Structure 1
Amino acid sequence: MHRTRYSTFLCTSLLALLCAAPAPAQNSDIGTVTPERVEGALQMRPYSPYANRTFPERPLFGDTHLHTAISFDAGMLGTTLGPVEAYRFAKGEQVIASSGQAVRLSRPLDFLVVTDHSDNFGLAADIVAGAPNVLAVPEGQRWYNMIKEGQGFEAATEAYMATAQSRLPEALNYAPGTRPYRSAWEQTIKAADAANDPGRFTAFIGYEWSSNPGGNLHRNVIFRDDGNLARQVEPLTTIPPMGTSDPRGLWEWMQTYETKTGGDVLAIAHNGNLSNGLMFPIVEPVDGKPVDRAYAETRARWEPLFEVTQIKGTSESHPFLSPNDEFANYELWDKGNLDLTVAKTNDMLEYEYARAALKNGLKLEATLGVSPYKIGMVGSTDAHTGLAAVEENNYFGKITPEEPSPHRLTNVFQTGKVGSFTGWELSSSGYAAVWATENTREAIFDAMERRETYATTGTRLVVRFFAGWDFEAADATSRTPADAGYSRGVPMGGTLSGGAEGISPRFLVMALRDPIGANLDRVQIVKGWLDRDGNLEEQVYDVAWSDDRVPGADGKLPPVGNTVDVKNASWTNTIGSSELITVWQDPDFDPAERAFYYARVIEIPTPRWTAYDAKYFELKDVSPDVPMTTQERAYTSPVWYTPKG
């Protein structure tokens, strides 16, 4: 009753005021945005906490490493999808996979880079099609026949080894400058430019430089530019005389491109676990000399990021390198090099994994003045199917023969002198997350260059990570924590220095679960440092966790539990937290010691892709060696601490 009286009174009063008010002037500027008003608004402290923001507001998820039928190995193994289909799929469209199955992502990606192998662009398509110039060569006729007889894997292996060992017949050497090579590069460029939709979806032009001098030294090369600049060059190959397997040759090519076109390009080092100790050297593998300042400066200039997780495993750390890290034994591939011709030995591991590289980078920086391994983190798929599909329940494999089938768990897809890899050992991983101000080539590329990125194993959880000197506990209770992060600290990928005497750095870290994914188990901060005696050290700290658990006497946090029903490939979010956020201060900080810090966010256990396969195909006799659960995770780019002076 009182509400009615008040409403009647208010309406009557407003009507009277409106009737008494003078009519607005004909040329009134009410509502007009003038430069004076804009300037005044920018100078005011806004009531709206979202006004005047200039920092990234959400992560963009994508894949920086995807192959299509243009890639020599993918095409030979039966992939029929090209770049056009790859971009359509990444945008959320349903496509028909090369194996004849309908497939679609749960949600569109925000960006994609098609990175087909630059060696022999276009050759696979001609072999599969039986082009006359191919069939005129005995090797070409042989590989064509093998493919037709269902021996595509064997044909691809033979052709790959012939290429790697410079035994490929001249008529089959599709090199830069040849018509078929140029045609394939043009196809790549046109597909990316056509798919690029600024503000909605970013399609980058790129390729993979596939050096393999005894170990995998591949790099994915990404252009900031459109085809007007990119088509002024052709990709670098590893095939002599124009190509090279030396990364320094790639960096020279990149410099030449930028000098010639005024464009911008970067390279992302391939997941290092198959390099057999060559990916992060302290002694150059080419000439056997210690890494010098020129090498360090050049690598740091061109390679800001590292692919820490993908279908061929994860290269964050290893139990041999991090024996006190209970989560280091995750999706490891440590049998040998890429073609399994040379066995892995423990002394190689230090030069393959990201955490060890970051630590060695501290030591090199102390002596050379610059670290070659100041790397940010991304994940990507390295799928050779044209499909960036790595959710555990939507995993479409590494290669077309490993697309969903009742046999893919037990398929032997890669063999060599020192062993083999079986289908179940493949990981359904990963994606690159980028904190960019907008969904454009320029903004995403710039975020990659400043290393404001993180890697996930396929989940789309949101992670923020900042370092500063004066973060407060209240910053972790704000619903706009990034305001404090950017205004009083540096984000992931940045460098922290200074600080008052006796003050330890503080870290603001927050994680929000994937909306259709699993709850969070914990947030950890991984620290590595160079101590006063020149020793490299590391420590993993649990800084935020779910379910009111209490660390034990050994300082370890009890496991979060496990709700996975393997038989039904399901789980419940009855354990874990939907979000975790905290401010943590380093209790072991020494201002004289160089250090890095990165966040690792771990989800509760969920079914691995192998469990989904077992349920769908009703597999009865799955080996107990096959893991059926996983704990997906994210790795942020580090923040580095540099002492004064």
Structure 2
Amino acid sequence: MATCCRPGPTHGRGLLAALVFFSASAVARAEPPGEVALEDFVQPVSTSPYAFRDFPDRVLFGDMHIHSNLSPDAGLLGTSLSPEDVYRAARGETVRSNTGQPFRLVRPLDFLVLTDHAEAMGLATMIRDSSPVLLASTRGREVWQGFNGGPEAALQAFGSLLADLSAGTDPFADIDMAGSIWPEFVELADRYNQPGVFTAMTGFEWTSQPDGNNLHRIVVFADGADKTSRVRPFSALDSQDPAELWNYMENYEALTGGRVFAHVHNGNLSNGIAFTAGTFDGTPMDADYAARRSRWEPIMEITQIKGDGETHPILSPDDEFASFERWDVTNLDGSAPKTPEMLRYEYARTALLTGLEVEARVGVNPYDFGFNGTTDSHTGLASSGEENYFGKFPGTEPGPDRFFKTVVPAADPSLRIISAQESAAGLTGAWVRENTRDEIFDAMLRKEIFATTGTRLRVRLFAGWDFKPGDELMSDFSGLGYTRGIPMGGRLDSPPQDAAPTFIVRAERDPDWANLDRIQIIKGWIDADGSSRERIYDIAVAGGREIGPDGRAREPVGSTVDLATATFTNTIGAPFLAGYWRDPDFDLSERAFYYVRVLEIPTPRWTTYDAVRFGLDLPEEVPSTVQDRAYSSPVWFTPAGGP
């Protein structure tokens, strides 16, 4: 028995090998998980086709422009939600709105940039808390007394503050207001930042507004409090010149080794000064100025509550979808009427054309920006859905009397903007590898982002020289796109002889919302005569409609909206669309850009939901339905020999 059970030489070696194997496995399992070095693998063929991939394959949705009670034009107007409340709501928690109503998103956001105004940041909370820092200042005590002296005194105090800020006068120059708020503000972002789950990024709004014209920028940091706490927000009271903001950002990166950029918003309220071919003082851009603007402002906020900024019917008369959520009668403070010649320098499509014109003159394109969408909510609630829209200010949160409240006052009644004209928008989609600050920031810098007007439809665009019909339907669409082309935000170069740009595009509906109507490519270019041109091409349409020889499907998708019940059905349209397109009019000598616009089928506008909920008549000032949409960041082509 003893002999039969004693292992022989072979048996012993097998047992020893087994013991070594299981011991090694146990040790390996006991070690904390770490990243596996791919070079450690010796298999000649990988059994996982994704093991060696290193490109963005995940889309995230977030809001890059939102305000808490720390912003004076929020907190002083009744916003009670704190920065912490803003993060909680964005993460999908149920919170109480400023008017006491329960609020929750249909799904949590993936990332958020909290962007309170740099000017008088924290004033409202200082007044509420009777801050000794505020009361130690003569002007601070006056303001505190005004806001604690009843409605009329509070209104006078608010008007006085606005007058100071509009005149470029800092009423609290003797108070380090930001210094008392900013350290806690940036540390809170770190506390709510959960890599892989929810990304909280630090930012602020620089509120330049010369003569009431909007030049606001949103400043976005990639970094945590270890770096962002070493500076203070740059205020328009420091300077209203964007070039000085660029200096601030350049100095931040030099001081901390961190990363930062800014994006422009609401050119539609700038009265023609947002996207000119000149500098802040009106002189023509040179190459250095154009390069600095491109470097520090890589993104344009194309849509938000204060209107859509893609294009305008006067600028794009052949675009039947151009008249969408327009605010186009005045500037930001309602002090001056808008005239038609201003529009050219306010909207994204013509700004891209202006960028091509400047590039042809000085060799650098100042407006080669990507597109993002935001809410600019001053309620602390990132509510961008038509069915769940909570307004821009506490006074325009849901209620039976919100339609006709004034949100842009003006002495001339024809220039006033009412709350019914607010747009339930928007969101930013970012193509990333993982949900982290660095990944999202990198996506912004390379412009691999897209804007939506509030829903979470997704769009993906690749451009190249040799895509073929059918590539848009390949199973490994992204792998093909990155291997043979460039994604949105990129530049096409080195064209083969007699080639033309080819594009493959996919779009998918928001799983909680509406089907898709169509995919379009918008092209802009400078022709041989030096004239700016634009053209729209439908490349995929739902419902069996035909695209004609002119590249357009003229038949509308239809509508299933029932205005009496504020409902719609997805019995028209398509949940998924894909398209291939080759530019039929390409000229190697002409500068050009291309971007994708995806349209959803019609759905009830937020005002229609309110009308049903509260038994109201629909306001005549706004349409009863909307076709929400997405805008991809552009791709560009520069002729050989060009910059």
Q: How many angstroms apart in 2 are the aligned matches of 1:382 and 1:295? A: 28
What is the aligned partner in structure 1 of residue 585 from structure 2? 588
Give 1:530 deviation, angstroms: 1.0
Give deviations 1:270-294, integer Å, cap 9, x for gaps: 12111111111112232x2111111
What is the aligned partner in structure 2 of residue 482 from structure 1? 478
Give 1:155 deviation, angstroms: 5.1
| TM superposition score normalised by structure 1 | 0.91
What is the aligned partner in structure 1 of residue 8 from structure 2? none
Q: How many angstroms apart in 1 are the aligned matches of 2:487 and 2:540? A: 19
What is the aligned partner in structure 2 of residue 159 from structure 1? 161
What is the aligned partner in structure 1 of residue 265 from structure 2? 270
Q: How many angstroms apart in 2 are the aligned matches of 1:622 and 1:510? A: 36
What is the aligned partner in structure 1 of residue 349 from structure 2? 355
| TM superposition score normalised by structure 2 | 0.91
C-alpha distance 557-173 of structure 1, shift in aligned 2 (>3 A): same
C-alpha distance 293-616 of structure 1, shift in aligned 2 (>3 A): same
- Which residue, out of 205, 209, 234, partners 1:208? 205
Q: Is residue 545 from structure 1 mapped to residue 547 from structure 2 by the alignment?
A: no
Alignment of 1:502-517 (within 5 A): 502-517=498-513
What is the aligned partner in structure 1 of residue 286 from structure 2? 292
Q: How many angstroms apart in 1 are the aligned matches of 2:45 and 2:468? A: 21
What is the aligned partner in structure 1 of residue 181 from structure 2? 184
Alignment of 1:229-628 (within 5 A): 229-239=227-237, 243-286=238-281, 288-418=282-412, 419-551=415-547, 555-619=552-616, 621-628=617-624
What is the aligned partner in structure 2 of residue 5 from structure 1? none
Q: How many angstroms apart in 1 are the aligned matches of 2:114 and 2:272? A: 27
Q: How many angstroms apart in 1 are the aligned matches of 2:90 and 2:419? A: 24
C-alpha distance 27-552 of structure 1, shift in aligned 2 (>3 A): closer
Give 1:616 deviation, angstroms: 1.4
Give 1:125 deviation, angstroms: 2.1
* One-letter amino acid matched to 2:632: T
Q: How many angstroms apart in 1 are the aligned matches of 2:272 and 2:178? A: 32
Give 1:321 deviation, angstroms: 0.7
Give 1:557 deviation, angstroms: 2.3
| 384-393 vs 31-40, which moves further | 31-40
Q: How many angstroms apart in 2 are the aligned matches of 1:440 and 1:97? A: 28
Q: How many angstroms apart in 2 are the aligned matches of 1:636 and 1:152? A: 44
What is the aligned partner in structure 1 of residue 143 from structure 2? 140
SS in 2 for 1:591: coil
C-alpha distance 570-150 of structure 1, shift in aligned 2 (>3 A): farther
SS in 2 for 1:207: strand
SS in 1 for 2:598: strand
What is the aligned partner in structure 2 of residue 61 from structure 1? 61
What is the aligned partner in structure 2 of residue 113 from structure 1? 113
SS in 1 for 2:387: helix
C-alpha distance 316-557 of structure 1, shift in aligned 2 (>3 A): same
Give 1:129 deviation, angstroms: 4.7
Q: How many angstroms apart in 1 are the aligned matches of 2:153 and 2:391? A: 19
Give 1:624 deviation, angstroms: 3.1
Q: How many angstroms apart in 2 are the aligned matches of 1:473 and 1:608? A: 37
Is contact 1:342–1:417 with CA below 8 Å preserved after alignment? no
What is the aligned partner in structure 1 of residue 221 from structure 2? 223
Is contact 2:38–2:52 with CA below 8 Å preserved after alignment? no
Q: How many angstroms apart in 2 are the aligned matches of 1:150 and 1:65? A: 31
Is contact 2:541–2:553 with CA below 8 Å preserved after alignment? no
Q: How many residues align?
A: 615
C-alpha distance 483-98 of structure 1, shift in aligned 2 (>3 A): same
Is contact 2:265–2:301 with CA below 8 Å preserved after alignment? yes
Is contact 1:128–1:144 with CA below 8 Å preserved after alignment? no
What is the aligned partner in structure 2 of residue 149 from structure 1? 151
SS in 2 for 1:526: strand
Is contact 2:421–2:621 with CA below 8 Å preserved after alignment? no
What is the aligned partner in structure 2 of residue 6 from structure 1? none
Is contact 2:148–2:154 with CA below 8 Å preserved after alignment? no
Q: Is residue 640 from structure 1 mapped to residue 623 from structure 2 by the alignment?
A: no
* One-letter amino acid matched to 1:83: P
Q: How many angstroms apart in 1 are the aligned matches of 2:84 and 2:327? A: 32
SS in 2 for 1:299: helix
Q: How many angstroms apart in 2 are the aligned matches of 1:569 and 1:322? A: 31
Is contact 1:281–1:291 with CA below 8 Å preserved after alignment? no
| 354-363 vs 127-136, which moves further | 127-136
Give 1:386 deviation, angstroms: 1.0
* One-letter amino acid matched to 2:20: N
Is contact 1:77–1:153 with CA below 8 Å preserved after alignment? no
Q: How many angstroms apart in 2 are the aligned matches of 1:28 and 1:552? A: 67
Q: How many angstroms apart in 1 are the aligned matches of 2:216 and 2:565? A: 39
Give 1:473 deviation, angstroms: 2.1
Is contact 1:381–1:430 with CA below 8 Å preserved after alignment? yes
C-alpha distance 446-36 of structure 1, shift in aligned 2 (>3 A): closer
Q: How many angstroms apart in 1 are the aligned matches of 2:389 and 2:492? A: 39
Q: CA RMSD in A?
A: 2.4
Give 1:110 deviation, angstroms: 0.5
| 495-504 vs 421-430, which moves further | 495-504
SS in 2 for 1:235: coil
Give deviations 1:112-135, integer Å, cap 9, x for gaps: 011000011122223345557559
* One-letter amino acid matched to 1:329: S
Is contact 1:116–1:208 with CA below 8 Å preserved after alignment? yes
Q: How many angstroms apart in 2 are the aligned matches of 1:162 and 1:539? A: 45
Give deviations 1:182-207, integer Å, cap 9, x for gaps: 12112211210110011111100110
What is the aligned partner in structure 2 of residue 27 from structure 1? 20
Give 1:48 deviation, angstroms: 4.0
Q: How many angstroms apart in 2 are the aligned matches of 1:644 and 1:401? A: 55
Is contact 1:62–1:433 with CA below 8 Å preserved after alignment? yes
C-alpha distance 246-505 of structure 1, shift in aligned 2 (>3 A): same
